[in-house]
Copies of this chain bind each other. A is one copy, B any other.
Amino acid sequence: MAKVEEKAKAGTGSLTVVGLGPGEAHWLTPAAQAVLDAASDLVGYGPYLDRIAAREGQTKHASDNRVEIDRAGHALRLAAEGKTVAVVSGGDPGVFAMAAAVFEALEAGDPAWRSLPITVEPGITAMLASAAKAGAPLGGDFCAISLSDNLKPWEVVTARLEAVLAADFVICLYNPISKARPWQLREALELAARHRSAQTPVIFARAVGRADEGLRILTLAEAVEAAASADMATLVTIGASSTRLIARGEERPWVYTPRSVTKSPSATSQGRT
């Protein structure tokens, strides 16, 4: 009977996975703001929910950062009960955030959930915000890798790093370091140093768009030594072989990657199949 009622009400509920962007309200899209305004229930990691001024009648469901799949299931149940649910992510919900967890929970859960209206509302992800502050480091081909080995073997991470280092991509590292994963970032940067010049620009962008924002432009050699100074709120960008600085006196230099590739020995040496 409870099951029948739940299904009967499913037609009125909905779930939107919404990206808050990197922090500043002026980076929250109007579409994302509208989702937050319309929600009856806000589900997410506590610090993200804290950034939202809840209106009267809205319920916040805060949870720990490491239980994404439980949070996703909870949000789907609320939607199935008829709630207008917003699942909030920092940055973009599709980039190492809640959207994939919601679809995992959807796939594994009550088949009735599949008829729920689900929407994903994009946001500015950290690598775009970091790049904008630094100049144009993503001017060429680039990739995004989560350094967390909670969800994949470290050997997969290093094999992927090897591949994109050899092929000369700009590399953005999400989740670079945590108390439980203290050594991975240094190992990744050491691996990079075996492929790229010690002078390659590396950007440590911490909490871009928030009050405690910090952006550091380092050489790869410096970055290896500074790895332990990064934290979970840091987005690390490793330049390609062509990534360069434009000095401007006392101010922080610009970092950019030219659009053109004239030669790329390490990439072309792999040949064509």
Q: Which residues of A contact B (CB under 8 A)?
A: 17, 21, 24-31, 34, 68, 92-96, 99-104, 106-107, 114-115, 118-125, 128-129, 131-133, 135-146, 151-153, 155-156, 158-160, 162-164, 166-169, 191, 194, 244, 246-249, 254, 256-264, 267-273
Contact = CB atoms under 8 A, between A and B. Distances in A.
Contact of A131 (B21, B122, B256): B122
Contact of A260 (B34, B151, B155, B273): B151
B166 A268 contact: no
B29 A136 contact: no
8 contacts: A27-B122, A100-B257, A114-B248, A115-B248, A119-B132, A142-B144, A143-B169, A159-B264
Contact of A261 (B93, B152, B166, B261): B152
B167 A131 contact: no
B152 A270 contact: no
B155 A159 contact: no
B29 A153 contact: no
Given A27-B31, A100-B139, A128 B95 contact: yes
A143 B140 CA distance: 11
A216 B90 CA distance: 28
B104 A258 contact: yes
A223 to B, nearest CB: 19
A37 to B, nearest CB: 12
Contacts of A124: 29, 92, 122-124
B191 A135 contact: no
A128 B136 contact: no
A132 B136 contact: no
Contacts of A191: 273
Contacts of A25: 30
B141 A267 contact: no
The interface centre, meaning the residue of A102, A163, A248 with most chain B CB atoms within 10 A of its CB, is A163
B249 A136 contact: no
